[in-house]
A and B are shown apart, each in its own frame.
Chain A
C-alpha cells in the first residue's frame, strides 16, 4: 500500500490558479474513477472537496475542480483566496485488497 505521490508544496497569488497533481498506478488512480480530494487546515479535521474524480459536495465552491488522465489525477483551485491556504490530500479506491490509499499531501500557500 504505497502512498500516492503529490508535490510537497504549491503556491499562487490571490486570484490565480494552482494545480495539484496526484500520481498513482493502474491499481488505484488509473484503475477506478474513485479519486477524492481533501482539504485540511492546521489543527482541523480534513474536509471532502472532490469525490469520484470530478464531483463537488454541496457547499464546496466551484473554484475547486478535479480531473484525471491515466494514473494521474489533478485538483485545480481557481481564483485563489486566502482561506484556500491549507494542506490538500488526494485519495483513491485501490481495489478490494488495499481498499483506500491517501496521497502524500501538498501544502498550498497563498502568496
Chain B
C-alpha cells in the first residue's frame, strides 16, 4: 500500500538549519509530483513547496522562498525539504503529500507529519 513517512523534525534554535525527509513506498515515485504542507500548532494548513514528478521544477510559498529547498532522490524514492535560516514562525507539523492531479494539484496521499519546533 502507499506509504509516506516523514522524518528529520526536531527542536532547533532560530537561524539554524534542518533537513526533512519523506520516504515513499507502494507506488512509482517518479510518476508523481510531491508537496510539503505545514500546520502550525492549532492553526490551518499552509502550502510550503512542490516539485515536479521529474524534479525539473520547484515552487515555493513566499514565506519560505530563498530559505527552503525542495528536492527528490528517485533512486531512494525520497523527498527532501532543506530548511535554512529557520524562524519561530516555521514551527509546525510538516507533511509530505503526493499530487495525484496532472492539472491543478490534488493531494491524495499524505504522511503522518514530522514536528519542527524553532525556539531559543
Contact = CB atoms under 8 A, between A and B. Distances in A.
Interface of A: 1, 3, 32-34, 36, 38, 40, 45-48, 51-52, 57, 89, 91-93, 96, 98-105
B106 A101 contact: no
Given A32-B104, A36-B107, A102-B44, A45 B62 contact: no
Instruction: Please provide the 10 A-B residue pairs with the shortest distance between their CB atoms, ordered closest to farther.
Output: A34-B104, A93-B104, A51-B106, A45-B110, A105-B44, A100-B47, A102-B45, A99-B59, A48-B108, A36-B106
B19 to A, nearest CB: 21
Nearest to B106: A51
A23 B85 CA distance: 33
Contact of B44 (A48, A51, A98, A103): A103
Contact of B47 (A48, A91, A104, A105): A91
A38 B106 CA distance: 10
Given A89-B45, A99-B47, A101-B47, A36 B113 contact: no
B9 to A, nearest CB: 14
Interface in B63-120: 63, 95, 100-101, 103-108, 110-113
B11 interface: no
Nearest to B63: A1
A75 to B, nearest CB: 14
Contact of A99 (B50, B63, B100, B113): B50
Nearest to A37: B106
B93 to A, nearest CB: 9
Contacts of B47: 91, 99-102
B114 to A, nearest CB: 11
A105 B59 CA distance: 23
Given A1-B62, A51-B101, A100-B35, A46 B107 contact: yes
A45 B61 contact: no
Given A48-B107, A52-B106, A100-B105, A38 B45 contact: yes
